[in-house]
Amino acid sequence: MAMKIRLSRGGSKKRPFYRIVAADSRMPRDGRYIEKLGTYNPLLPKDSEDRVKMDMERVQYWLGEGAQPTDRISRMLEAAGVTPKKERANMKKGEPGKKAKERVEEKAAKATAAAEAAAAPAEEAATE
């Protein structure tokens, strides 16, 4: 059985509240789970102790059994110091798209053309 440690959403509309659960990966997000391991309340401030509560002993047990944490849970475990920090880099995320690059190139070409056009009459006046 492929186990995951993941979030299960609760709470009302626009007021999310999550349970941290160990579940079979084939079950739906808010469906059946095997064990509740903690809670996560994103509405609380980031420095609040009640924002993320986990039973670390049970989390360690499930990690030892081969359960894979989701990305969000792995970040929480890294912050708690349970797992080593992973290197994450999305190099292309900050890179502009094709059209934006083309617009920048066109703008640069126009600016150089305008600078050359402005410099040409100044040179002619200086030579006279």
Could you tell me if 18 and 71 lie in one domain?
yes
Q: How far apart are CA 15 and CA 11, in angstroms?
A: 6
Could you tell me if 17 and 76 lie in one domain?
yes
Could you tell me if 100 and 51 lie in one domain?
no
Cβ atoms of residues 30 and 47 within 8 Å: no
| Strand 68-69, strand 52-54: pairing | unpaired
Q: How far apart are CA 116 and CA 55, in angstroms?
A: 68
| Domain residue limits at 117 | 94-128
Could you tell me if 74 and 11 lie in one domain?
yes
For the domain that residue 12 is a member of, what is the CATH number?
A: 3.30.1320.10
pLDDT digit string (tens) for 61-73?
999 999 999 999 9
Mean pLDDT estimate for the chain = 87
Range 74-100 average pLDDT = 83
Q: What is the pTM of this model?
A: 0.66
At residue 54, what are phi and psi to the nearest 5 degrees?
-135, 145
Instruction: Report if residue 53 sits inside a domain.
Output: yes
pLDDT at residue 30, rounded to an integer: 84
The first and second tokens of residue 75, run together, are 């970040």
Query: In this model, does residue 120 exceed pLDDT 90?
Result: no
Instruction: Report if residue 27 sits inside a domain.
Output: yes
Instruction: Report if residue 37 sits inside a domain.
Output: yes
Instruction: Report if residue 85 sits inside a domain.
Output: no
Could you tell me if 8 and 69 lie in one domain?
yes
Helix (H) / strand (E) element for 105: namely: helix 98-127
pLDDT digit string (tens) for 20-54?
999 998 988 888 899 999 999 999 998 888 999 99
Query: In this model, does residue 84 exceed pLDDT 70?
Result: yes
As for how many domains the chain has, the answer is 2
DSSP helix/strand/coil, 124:
helix
The secondary structure of 69-89 as a DSSP string is: EPHHHHHHHHHHTSSPPPP--
Cβ atoms of residues 5 and 20 within 8 Å: yes
Could you tell me if 59 and 102 lie in one domain?
no
Helix (H) / strand (E) element for 64: namely: helix 56-64
Could you tell me if 105 and 61 lie in one domain?
no
Could you tell me if 43 and 74 lie in one domain?
yes
